A and B are shown apart, each in its own frame.
Chain A
């Protein structure tokens, strides 16, 4: 398994843990699946928790001004953001 595939797996697992999606829904997320604005579970408190978990599990730091609809709009956006932060992109 490549590092990149591992990031995808870890992010699905993290979204499942934070949003309680269930393994089936988390596994079915595609690059176009909507997150912020599309999932009612994802209010500002949940986003704050999500970002903290991302920082912990992927060992990176997210600045306040990096957080916007562009990085959280879809599953693909968020995955691309994390890959870029980790130097995988």
Chain B
């Protein structure tokens, strides 16, 4: 079900969108999505996981990161810091008891909540892949670019990568960010029994994977 929540931003509080399955049950899971293209690729997978969690008696909320998906805030104004602040605000608003951070979501999730991180990605790897996509696109039209120069420019002035306008803060932050899990359980893709949907350019969904993830969370949520 769609819902909104008040998110801190540069212009004060802004309403952000979330997909919620909320029947005011004891276990309430905040899902922090992956960053960039992987967010789109995993959306159906995560919403299906929410449906499965609902059937297993667990409430869940999948908020938009500001600047992403339905958000009206500017992507170019975002940083890892703004996403962290947003996810803390979402956790508070929805009274989350647990968290699931997926891939790059592990860089920005509220670390005070118990829970899980699914195949956490480090910021440098995410940035490298975005840079590579830009360099390949440039090469196709006969323009030679290189990572080192792009990064140097990006850290000072921001950078357009794979259709995203990254702020200087986001470029710098990604360059050194490591997954922030502190005691949350790391889930590996192999536990879900199939290949990862975020790898695919046209991912679709896989109800069996969603069911596996939901069962694992329900079994370990301790409620």
Contact = CB atoms under 8 A, between A and B. Distances in A.
B195 A16 contact: yes
Given A17-B195, A68-B139, A48 B202 contact: no
B112 interface: no
A79 interface: no
A64 B203 contact: no
Given A44-B137, A48-B133, A49-B129, A64 B146 contact: yes
Q: Classify chain A: how many residues form its interface, as a range.
A: 20 to 34
Interface string A17-45: 11110000000000000000000011111
B129 A44 contact: no
Contact of B128 (A42, A52, A67): A52
Contact of A67 (B136, B162, B196, B204): B136
B124 to A, nearest CB: 11
Contacts of A49: 129, 199, 201
Contact of A48 (B136, B196, B200, B203): B136
Nearest to A46: B201
Interface of A: 16-20, 41-49, 51-53, 64-65, 67-68
In the A-B complex, the 7 residue pairs with the closest CB atoms = A48-B133, A17-B195, A48-B132, A44-B136, A46-B201, A44-B137, A20-B200
Interface of B: 37, 125, 128-130, 132-137, 139-140, 146-147, 162, 195-196, 199-204
